[in-house]
Amino acid sequence: MLLDLTDDERALKDGLESFADRELAPRIAPFVERHAFPSELVRTFAGLGFMGTAYDPAYAGGGFGARGAAIVAEALARIEPGFAAIYLCNAAPMSVIAHFGSDALKREWLTPLCRGDCIASFGVSEPQGGSDVASTRTRAVRDGDDWILTGAKVFSTNAGTDLHGLSTVVAVTDPDKGPRGLSTFVVPVGTPGFRVGKAGRKVGWRIAPSVELFFDACRIPGRLMVGAEGDGLKQILTTLSLGRILVGAAALGLSRKALGLAASYGRERKVGGRPIFENQGLTFPLADAMTRIHAAELMIRNAACLADAGRPCRIETSMAKLFASELAGEIADLAVQVHGGYGIFEEYEVSGLLGEAKVLQIVEGTSEVQRLIIARELQEA
């Protein structure tokens, strides 16, 4: 497996870096400080077609698959992890529709999402359930050709923004079948009975609002079911695999950001007339960090290649997400330590990286969940 990018992937990366340098980096800081969603920046980014990077060109996508999506997530996270969050949380509902939706559903919703006309959120986690999908209580009851949704979701990122166009929502359609009785629906914004809660302030992903979704006798046309009834669990697991690749890629970008800040500060900062970079107690941990970043990149690229080839990759995606997100926390901690007392002041960009890394260790399945998945593989071997 080579890390070399194809010519098309290189062009994608160059376009991203141009956007990041010209638009994102100079303008994002005030939004982070205010925990505010950067609507115009997201609109510009989406209008360039980057939201559709992974998907079929027949639906206005870029056709780059998981490899291309990982390039996007990493590049954005190196500038602002919260912007990467907006991208990868939009990718989850897009992937459900792309992999399981009918052609008509894709043309109705995937195409505008790829074009950047709107963004989407995913509704899976519930207040009492956390990572346990089997405890889903949101119900969908058939009423003629429609379905009536009742329940609530939490941690739905991108919902409630002025660009929010729809949410994909997992609900119980057959309670007698347990997890096999789950189905997924597209719920357009503005549907009667669909309400979005207020965003809270987070230690990371500060520009990407995460909210509750409420469904009060929300009537959904049958054509907005994604795939077949009862396919919800399969859809969630497939979507989580791509999501874990993208979270891992975002963690890789964050790790590189933290390492760059640490190295830059170490070269410039002098104590007692000497650059602190001359201290091996500093440079050796940074060398180890650089080595482990390379390992994380290999794991993420491998998982993405497996996903694009349609091969089983559940374990590989869990290992990549676990390794990369834990690494991001360690390098963020190291970067703050390198800055010493200055590292805890908000005026220094490095101060916010620990919170960003912690979010990545929790979303798309906590580190404990990833270890559980990997451990089960050992038990079944």
Closest CA to 224 of 175, 171, 177, 178: 171
How many domains in the chain? 3
Q: Do 68 and 128 have their domain in common?
A: no
Provide the domain limits for residue 319.
233-380
CATH of the domain at 282: 1.20.140.10
80 and 129: one domain?
A: no
In a domain, 242, yes or no: yes
Same domain, 115 and 133: no
One digit per residue, the tens of pLDDT, for the chain of length 381 reads: 556 899 999 999 999 999 999 999 999 999 999 999 999 999 999 999 999 999 999 999 999 999 999 999 999 999 999 999 999 999 999 999 999 999 999 999 999 999 999 999 999 999 887 667 778 999 999 999 999 999 999 999 999 999 999 999 999 999 999 889 999 999 999 999 999 999 999 999 999 999 999 999 999 999 999 999 999 999 998 998 889 999 999 999 999 999 999 999 888 887 767 777 777 678 899 999 999 999 999 999 999 999 999 999 999 999 999 999 999 999 999 999 999 999 999 999 999 999 999 999 999 999 999 999 999 988 876
**Count of Cβ atoms closer than 10 Å to residue 135 Cβ:** 11
| Active-site residue identified among 364, 368, 377, 380 | 364
Q: Which residues pair with 188 in a beta bridge?
A: 166
Does the annotation count 364 as an active-site position? yes
Statement to judge: residues 115 and 14 lie in one domain? yes
Choose one of 94, 119, 144: the last residue of a domain.
119
**What is the domain-level CATH number for residue 51?**
1.10.540.10
Q: Which of 227, 207, 203 is nearest to 361 (CA)?
A: 203
Of 192, 211, 228, which marks where a domain is finished?
Answer: 228
Rounded to an integer, what distance in angstroms lies between the CA atom of residue 271 and that of residue 370? 42
